[in-house]
Amino acid sequence: MDKTNTQVGPRGTLELLSQREVEALTSIAQQRKLFDLFRRCALAVLNTGNESDDAAAIFDAYDDFSIEVAGRTRGLKLIIKNAPASAFVEGRMVEGIRQHLFAVLRDIVYTGTDISNADLFDLESSEGITDAVFHILKHARVLNPGLRPKLVVCWGGHSISRTEYDYTKEVGYHLGLRGLDVCTGCGPGAMKGPMKGALVGHAKQRVRRARYLGLSEPGIIAAEPPNPIVSHLVVLPDIEKRLEAFVRLAHGIIVFPGGVGTTEEILYLLGVMLEPANKEQQLPIVFTGPSQSADYFQELDAFLKLTLGEEIGDLYEIVIDDAEKVGRCLSSSLRDVKKQRRRDGDAYYFNWLLKVPTEHQQPFKVNHDTVSGLCLSRDLPAHQLVVNLRRAFSAIVTGNIKDYGTRMIEQDGPFELRGDAGFAEALDQLLRQFVSQGRMKLAKETYHPCYRVIPE
């Protein structure tokens, strides 16, 4: 396996730092826990293009990889040894990878240190958490006051069929033709397809400053390195802040077929939109896929209505096998978004007036005890049940692909999800559908569930 040594300076971020900032950054980066996290995420970024979802295999293959943050008179540099040779062309690091590498340094070490400072951000309050999300996005330079509402967030699975992937590209193409920008979870599959399609649409329309935003988190970036099209990478500290960043940046949201991660995103989104304070918010939501995905959305729609009530269907529209209609729908709906923001005096670039319930903002610590303690019962009010449901799916995501989660499952066995009989049956049926359709299949030939549903 070919490996490369190099030294690189900042590009895309962290170019302008004072000597005091450089000294502080190099000192902080040497803290063991933070350094290990940065090293793992940096290796994942340098491994961009490798289709494997097996983080452990990546780390084992490059166990001698090292990266050092070093100061210099005009700023800083990274000293890298034994990096994947695929990150270089004729001895020079691929420019997109270089920018992503410094985005990781910025968000995990530089900005991340600010966020953890209790004197600057009160992460126990809803307002403090929102301020932290804004701070991260501002330093990542993704907030642009001069742009009209045109950012479409696209969610969907990394493990989708070729037909579904081609459809995501087609939808992205129609978004690009209409001059709309794309934001995804930045990984492969349904996170890459819309960007790839939009790239062609933007090229046809000669859109010169199109944006392809990718939002990730440290626990997941190793399993889903940024796809090469991402122009602006942001690494949020945890899934809750990542999801809040999505909904506050979004002017519209498209959901493609996916697995448990996509379902977690849907439940978060619907939980926010169920909040009475958001009744007047204009945020178009479209579930869409090719004709072969019709059963998937039918099953998902039935599950959501069974658990959260029939009225939940009023919050989203399902469009099957009509990519152009999706483009028209979003383009038209964004005009309503603009009118609402202007009427209410809210910013186009960050939805301050959107009320995110505190329960959706507080990080959920996934372990066997917290997961088994989740109450999954239809007797709960919808706004409480949706919180526990999202946390249950968050646990499955953790057990599926996050390194510490897979190790937890290997050591102590699958998580136990407990719910009343009818609910547990519906949940188990939905999860089994994901497995049978290959939506939770990673690098292994056979998927072994990291969960067990127990009726009560």
What is the structure's pLDDT at 442? 52
Structure tokens at 91: 């001895």
What is the structure's pLDDT at 53? 55
Percentage of the chain modeled with pLDDT above 90? 49
CB atoms under 10 Å from CB of 303, counted, come to 19
pLDDT at 428 over 90: no
Domain regions of the chain by residue span: 3-120, 132-350, 359-455
Give the model confidence (pLDDT) of 7-38 as tens digits.
Answer: 988 877 787 777 877 887 787 767 777 888 88
What is the structure's pLDDT at 446? 60
What is the structure's pLDDT at 319? 97
Say what the pTM is.
0.89
Structure tokens at 112: 């991340």
Which comes out higher in pLDDT, residue 206 or 47?
206
pLDDT at 51 over 90: no
What is the structure's pLDDT at 398? 87
Grouping H, G, I as helix, E, B as strand and the rest as coil, residue 375 is coil
Computed over every residue of the chain, the mean pLDDT equals 88
What is the structure's pLDDT at 348? 96
Structure tokens at 312: 């939940």
Find the mean pLDDT for residues 42-46: 89
- Give the type of residue at 244: E
d(CA 367, CA 372): 9
What is the structure's pLDDT at 444? 52
Give the model confidence (pLDDT) of 214-267 as tens digits.
Answer: 999 987 887 778 888 999 999 999 889 999 999 999 999 999 999 888 999 999
Fold annotation for 132-350: Rossmann fold (3.40.50)
Which residues neighbour 366 within 8 Å (Cβ) at sequence distance 6 or greater? Answer: 394, 395, 398, 399, 405, 408
Which comes out higher in pLDDT, residue 446 or 20?
20
In the numeric block, the tokens 């072969």 are attached to 292
pLDDT at 346 over 90: yes
d(CA 169, CA 190): 8
What is the structure's pLDDT at 202? 97
pLDDT band at 153 (very low <50, low <70, confident <90, very high): very high
pLDDT band at 445 (very low <50, low <70, confident <90, very high): low
Which comes out higher in pLDDT, residue 109 or 304?
304
pLDDT band at 353 (very low <50, low <70, confident <90, very high): very high
Fold annotation for 3-120: MCP/YpsA-like (3.30.1850)
Rounded (5°) CA angle 212-215-218: 145
pLDDT band at 5 (very low <50, low <70, confident <90, very high): confident
- Give the type of residue at 340: Q
d(CA 172, CA 168): 6
pLDDT at 281 over 80: yes
pLDDT at 205 over 90: yes
